[in-house]
Amino acid sequence: MAEDPNLVSTWLSAMVSSAEELATSTLGLDGITVLDSGLPSDRSFPGSYVALVGDDYNFEYGVAGSWEACGTLGRALLFMEPDEELTDDDMADAINEVINIVAGGVKRRMTEVDPGLKLGLPAFFNGTLHPTSHQEAAGSKIEIAGAEVYLLAFRHKV
Amino acid sequence: MKILIVDDSKAMRMIVLRHLRQAGYGDADFVEASNGLEGLAQVKAEGPDLILSDWNMPEMNGLEFLRKLRSDGDDTPFGFVTSEGTPDMQILARDSGAIFVIAKPFTVETFRETLDAAGVA
């Protein structure tokens, strides 16, 4: 790993790479497009979050966007047509699975940095995590399967 | 052939099922469970020929599910389909009796090649 693992941006970079892998494998797409960097100013996004906790590094990872964007991404994961009805439960389940896969890819990419990394169970909620002075955060806005969503990484300083 | 898919995510169970069908297992019968405890009940009720299980699940995780099966003397072929794709987890899975580990994200080709290599008919 050439990048500094002490930088939250390094872990966000692994997350973007993992999202690219999800797009090109399971979703069968050409890839993702990184649209912007930084955290969203809107703090009322729905999204899914999961903990990735290790011996030296502790993170919350999230994928969040508008309800419409989450629906678009959920339908893509479930191979549904754009106009097919998607219940809130199924959308939450699908977005949970997106962050589960993406964070699993981060774990795989960063396991040499922290072999003790353990992946939690994802949770879907409306609103974004708010980093405190004890946390660092980074985000990237991406387009994946026609959905514009944020990839978010929150690091708990130890 | 009867295949048991165990995952707490309904979405992922559907995705796995779709990939299996596209990988050439469209004639199989599929049964589902949402955690290891339900998986154990389905094994007793349905007698599957193959079990595909997630690792991280509530109630009973995939590794506990596999170990319980083996300790009960059940040797149904068992593979993980999981985000836990690190080398250490793969070794742990195999040492516990899994015949393969498919890491998420996956492709139809991943399923085809892995199941062929594992000798799953």
Amino acid A89 reads D
A69-125 pLDDT, tens digit each? 999 999 999 989 988 999 999 999 999 999 999 999 999 999 999 999 999 999 999
Residue in B11, B18, B103 closest to A94 by CB: B11
For chain B, say whether A100 makes contact (Cβ under 8 Å). yes
**pLDDT given at position B120:** 80
Write out the H or E segment, with its range, that includes residue A62.
Answer: strand A58-65
Chain B neighbors of A111, CB-CB under 8 A: 86-88
Residue A38: its H or E element = none
Q: Which of A25, A90, A115 sits opposite B11 (nearest CB)?
A: A90
- Structural domains of chain B, ranges and CATH numbers in brackets: 2-117 (3.40.50.2300)
ipTM over 0.90: no
Distance CA A86, CA B3 (A): 27
- Contacts with B84 from chain A: Cβ below 8 Å: 104, 107, 119
Class for the domain spanning A8-156? alpha beta
Task: Compute CA distances A131 → A12, A83, A152, whole Å.
Answer: 15, 36, 11
- Tens digits of residue pLDDT in A19-34: 999 999 889 899 999 9
Structural domain boundaries of chain A?
8-156
Burial letters for A80-101: b for 16+ Cβ neighbours within 10 Å, e otherwise?
Answer: beeeeebeeebbbbbbbbbbbb
Mean pLDDT of A40-65: 92
